[in-house]
Amino acid sequence: MSTSAPTWNERHCLVTGGARGIGLAVTQALLAQGARVTVLGRGAVATERLAVLAGNAEAATRLQAVAADVADAPAVARAFAEASAGFGAIDTLVNNAGQAHSAPFMKMDLALWQRMLAVNLTGTMVCTQAALPAMLAAGWGRVINVASTAAQRGYAYVSAYCAAKHGVLGLTRALALECATKGVTVNAVCPGFTETDLLKDSIANIVAKTGRSEAQARAELAAGNPQKRLVQPAEVAAAVLWLCQAGSGAVTGQALSVSGGEVM
């Protein structure tokens, strides 16, 4: 079953981790199209701060924030209910919230492993289960999972993160098949190393552990990109925005790599 796509000003999009980095770029891109956007964060995200980031007063009226840990199903259910009460049923979900921590495999403890799975994989499942019923009832919806090139290949010293992101891609493909005849597409966007606060943390970690300079650490991360540069958040947001559009309806179960050709 499928119905005609809602216009952008009828859309309600929820972006997890939507107040910083890639998530913020996605939030701004959706607002620019005229959609109503809910940002979900772990803490009480300041709506006033988001309103400033929205760019203008009119856009700020289409922006709200709710709080939940994405791996906490009851908290997510409450947050999604609050979001729907404010802006109507959610028709677009961008699962962007995530964390990345590094450790050699034999030094990785169970707590790190479970934390990477909880935030990156379980959180994606929990939020999608909360949003999907309304999409299925409407006969139209978009689920976009911000994964990583770590969902498509391996990286040393981040085995837990890679395992979680590979799981996100598997979930994406399986759910896409379940929803294929129901008007809902499910896709993943897989950025390479992207200029965000998360990347700054990775660079600081490299500097602290190896003695390299910040410039050397940045160059090392950019070296894996055939374009020899870091991806920008707006470039990832543009890929997400395309998958949100009505014209992408024939695209589902895909992993769109935004990585300068690192993964082909």
Query: Which pLDDT does position 198 carry in this prediction?
Result: 74
186 within domain boundaries = yes
Cβ proximity of 79 and 93 under 8 Å? no
Alpha-carbon torsion, ordered 72, 75, 79, 85, to 10 deg: 140
> Region 238-259: what's the mean pLDDT?
97
pLDDT in tens, 99-109: 998 899 999 99
| Residues in a beta bridge with 15 | 39, 94
The answer to whether residues 226 and 120 belong to one domain is: no
Q: Is 255 helix (H, G, I), strand (E, B) or coil?
A: strand
The answer to whether residues 162 and 240 belong to one domain is: yes
Helices 73-87 and 123-138 cross at an angle (nearest 10°) of 40
| Residues in a beta bridge with 144 | 94, 187
Domain coverage including residue 108: 9-192+233-257
Which of these ranges, 49-58, 73-82, 151-160, has the smallest mean pLDDT? Answer: 49-58
The CA distances from residue 129 to 29, 123, 136, 258, in Å, are 24, 10, 11, 26
The answer to whether residues 160 and 224 belong to one domain is: no
Please count the other Cβ atoms lying within 10 Å of the Cβ belonging to residue 57: 8
102 token code pair:
């590094």
Cβ proximity of 26 and 94 under 8 Å? yes
Which of these ranges, 41-45, 88-92, 102-106, 122-126, has the smallest mean pLDDT? Answer: 41-45
The answer to whether residues 47 and 20 belong to one domain is: yes
The answer to whether residues 241 and 210 belong to one domain is: no
4 within domain boundaries = no
**Which pTM was predicted?**
0.93
The answer to whether residues 141 and 223 belong to one domain is: no
* Alpha carbon distance 247, 242 (integer Å): 8
Which of these ranges, 89-93, 163-167, 228-232, has the smallest mean pLDDT? Answer: 228-232
Cβ proximity of 243 and 187 under 8 Å? yes
- Catalytic sites, residue numbers: 161
Which residue type occupies 126? V
Query: Which pLDDT does position 256 carry in this prediction?
Result: 98
Burial of 249 (0-12, 13-18, 19+ CB in 10 A): middle
Give the phi and the psi of residue 146 in degrees, each rounded to 5: -80, 100
pLDDT in tens, 11-32: 999 999 998 899 999 999 999 9
Q: What is the CATH number of the domain that holds 19?
A: 3.40.50.720
Measured on CA atoms in the order 156, 157, 163, 168, is the torsion positive or negative?
negative
The answer to whether residues 71 and 200 belong to one domain is: no
pLDDT in tens, 121-134: 999 999 999 999 99
pLDDT in tens, 195-223: 887 777 777 777 787 888 888 888 888 88
1 within domain boundaries = no
Give the phi and the psi of residue 262 in degrees, each rounded to 5: -60, -35
* Alpha carbon distance 161, 118 (integer Å): 10
18 Cβ contact list (under 8 Å, min separation 6): 24, 26, 27, 37, 38, 39, 40, 41, 94, 96
Instruction: Identify the residue whose tokens are 């540069």.
Output: 229
